[in-house]
Structure 1
């Protein structure tokens, strides 16, 4: 499951960033984070402040995600005797989350939204880390679906280290576009408006990918494909 799981974790983080719950709010997040302001269709902020605060923010949400990955892996190790049952439940839930993400299901419980609210703006890199942690814990539903799927994969991992690594890759998938887009909006908000038009399509694509992954996990084909890929890699070497 290693190669496919890691690839899914990265694209899960990437598409989570571009979810309709998070991406449109990016200017507000970055403004709150840096203490800058929107003027002349761009974010007015010191570049060094932007880089440092963004780094702190990324460290903050990564800490929470990695901790969740470690917890899920540890729980999976405790329930090792029920591995097949856990795999089947995980596959079913991932399919359910994928249907919800793609808009093919409308389960009210999964549509409940939580966001962090704080009146105090970030003053230094430490407070940026705290804001990142708050951002990760006060998560919105469409990102939570992808994150939950990654955690379900982590719960099936053979080692605690792999679960941590899986969520580190997920965090990286969110961190890269966060840095790039944060820099872009300091020059112009036009790119943001253009990307906004395609958010619903990205959510649908993410949902379909999750459904396919869920069927692979549910049927037990995930392990077979990963084993084949590993054998092929060794053969190539």
Structure 2
């Protein structure tokens, strides 16, 4: 299981996080969120503050935001893994159910299957606290984690299903930590290079669609591997095909 998660599972989780960032209901709202998080300083600096200083300040506050939704996702990972451990006697059946869920999520991400309306819905939070401070940024990140969970549900649900098959809570938490990393790194890069990010938003949307298809294919293959009990073989195949992955985990 360690090899499975260190190669196949963690790679899927990280790519899934990036795909979630580039999804149609997250990417267009990133500039507004970053501007609020930094107290309206992105990409404009305060009086007497250099552009570089403003960018690094925005990066720090965005780090608090990323920490907020990471806490939510890691907690979800711990919860589903704990529940999964209650059904250790039914590990075979659990793997089949989880594999089907992961593959189905992959088909939704690819656009091959239309997701139910409740999955496509998301909930916006309009916090009354002022931006530009670490604690509000942290709370806003947690609100993002809860409010956008239905929107990024297909990818997140697939990762959680994989986490439910983990043999330990720490493995499930690690899996969701890597997912949060994949979602958080683009946020941090967008904060640091806000002007460039805004100009290239259209290109990122097109790239996001391609990445969603790739992610969907990976999730379908992963789901089949989990359901058939061939996840170890899939991990070994990844190692042989992409030797650089041997340094992960």
The reply to whether residue 122 of structure 1 matches residue 131 of structure 2 is yes
Match of 2:76 among 59, 68, 73: 68
Distance 1:10 1:29 in 2: 22
Of 65-74 and 195-204, the range deviating more from structure 2: 195-204
Counterpart contact for 2:8–2:235, Cα < 8 Å: yes
Of 159-168 and 180-189, the range deviating more from structure 2: 180-189
Distance 2:199 2:39 in 1: 21
Distance 1:7 1:125 in 2: 30
Match of residue 10 from structure 1: 14
The reply to whether residue 82 of structure 1 matches residue 76 of structure 2 is no
Match of 1:147 among 156, 161, 164: 156
Change (3 A) 1:76 1:12: same
Secondary structure of 1:105's aligned partner: coil
Q: Which runs of 5+ in 1 are unaligned?
A: none
Change (3 A) 1:97 1:36: same
Distance 2:221 2:125 in 1: 35
Distance 2:41 2:205 in 1: 20
TM-score (norm 2): 0.83
Match of residue 63 from structure 2: 55
Counterpart contact for 1:58–1:132, Cα < 8 Å: yes
Match of residue 171 from structure 2: 162
Match of 1:210 among 205, 219, 231: 219
Match of residue 229 from structure 2: 220
Distance 1:48 1:200 in 2: 30
Counterpart contact for 2:56–2:192, Cα < 8 Å: no
Taking only aligned residues, the RMSD between alpha carbons, in angstroms, comes to 2.3
Counterpart contact for 1:122–1:131, Cα < 8 Å: no
Count of residues in Structure 1 that have an aligned counterpart in Structure 2: 228
Q: Residues 13-63 of structure 1, C-alpha deviation per residue, up to 9 Å, x if partnerless?
A: 12211111211211011112112167xxxx324224302210110110110
Counterpart contact for 2:101–2:223, Cα < 8 Å: yes
- CA apart distance, 1:199: 2.6
Match of residue 173 from structure 1: 182
Counterpart contact for 1:114–1:140, Cα < 8 Å: yes
Distance 2:237 2:208 in 1: 34
Match of residue 49 from structure 2: none
TM-score (norm 1): 0.87
Q: Which runs of 5+ in 2 are unaligned?
A: 46-53
Counterpart contact for 1:185–1:192, Cα < 8 Å: no
Distance 1:178 1:127 in 2: 17
Counterpart contact for 1:72–1:155, Cα < 8 Å: yes
